[in-house]
Chain A
């Protein structure tokens, strides 16, 4: 009982803490790649605290409700991850939060917000099936959706599921709002549709969307750790390499359109998953 409580608290604290640090590292790394110095490591925390104490401006009260559900869902997903719960349950809880963010953006009449929300829906359409396929692959290999059992699997999963890891990389790129998939909103200052999905969230509510995003980043990086769960060193190297590649990809690619995203992510992603799943069931 006390262990459960400790895990819940760990999940709730480590989400914003790790997510914020990762996002600060991301900004420094991006700046270095552009031969700039970049902001301090704790810049994302400064931003969020500043936003929390700004005057709350609400376009539509539904936004307030939606953004709270978004943060609740993404934090619950991370807590469930820490409690070593069921992978499918975690994914669905996370999806509920992501949908609520879209509903909040759709409740405003701003065309930028509307276009951003519709692009976000297309992004979800692209990555959600892939995430489920990754989980299916993990199930076929380990025989369980339970994280507690997957983490106790004696061998690293990466050698058996290399293509599914690439597929997870697609989902990660979309979820981290990195180029070439940063259609709905981008973590940089400017975009052709102002700030897309987040245009009409402001002040404390924008801060909440950022915290929710940190939870999601932690959750997805947690999913990446499943692929080398046998040793801490392997896990660390895998995470660092994956994140470095994400930032590199963000800096060397440009934003594409949703048609390209849907056809590439589904075409390549589904093909790679299929190859890996056939290999798992027939080859092993």
Chain B
């Protein structure tokens, strides 16, 4: 039983499907995230697929600040993802609200709405940093998987 759990977890780490949500970002982070798909970085090497559907996703990758209008959308997307799942906040705005944190329409970073597992700082972060963040999230995913089935 322990062996099956472990091998399933290995599969989990080998096939993380990403859902990317732009939560009011300036598109700087989004361009870097999409750059990961290009032949230079080729994240499909690690089995990572950028899916457009929360039902199929394992990892939620969010960029940009949360505001009162999109916080519902964000929590909805998170609720629609079947577990085990991980959340990654990308960029200065996603982490804390960045330079917009004082603005009247900004709630703050992603962690004001969702439990964030990995923070990737930068304005915007380099594609290497984003890939690093996803790899860090995989450990979280494994841990969640073990806890859930235990």
Which A residues are within 8 Å of any B CB, using their own CB?
Answer: 27, 31, 34-40, 43, 46-47, 49-50, 53-57, 189-191, 194-195, 199-203, 206
Contacts and interface: CB of A to CB of B under 8 A. Distances in A.
Given A43-B14, A50-B58, A53-B149, 18 more contacts: A34-B39, A39-B47, A40-B14, A43-B47, A47-B47, A49-B11, A50-B14, A50-B15, A54-B58, A54-B84, A55-B82, A55-B84, A190-B52, A195-B51, A199-B55, A201-B55, A203-B82, A206-B55
Interface of B: 7-8, 11-12, 14-15, 39, 42, 44-47, 49-53, 55-56, 58, 80, 82-84, 145, 149
A55 B54 CA distance: 13
B8 A49 contact: yes
Given A38-B45, A57-B82, A190 B56 contact: no
Contacts of A43: 14-15, 47
Contact of B53 (A46, A54, A199): A199
Nearest to B9: A53
B45 A50 contact: no
Contacts of B145: 53
A50 B39 CA distance: 25
Given A46-B11, A49-B8, A54 B83 contact: yes
Nearest to A190: B52
Contacts of B49: 189
A31 B42 contact: yes
B55 A202 contact: yes
Given A194-B52, A195-B51, A202-B55, A54 B39 contact: no
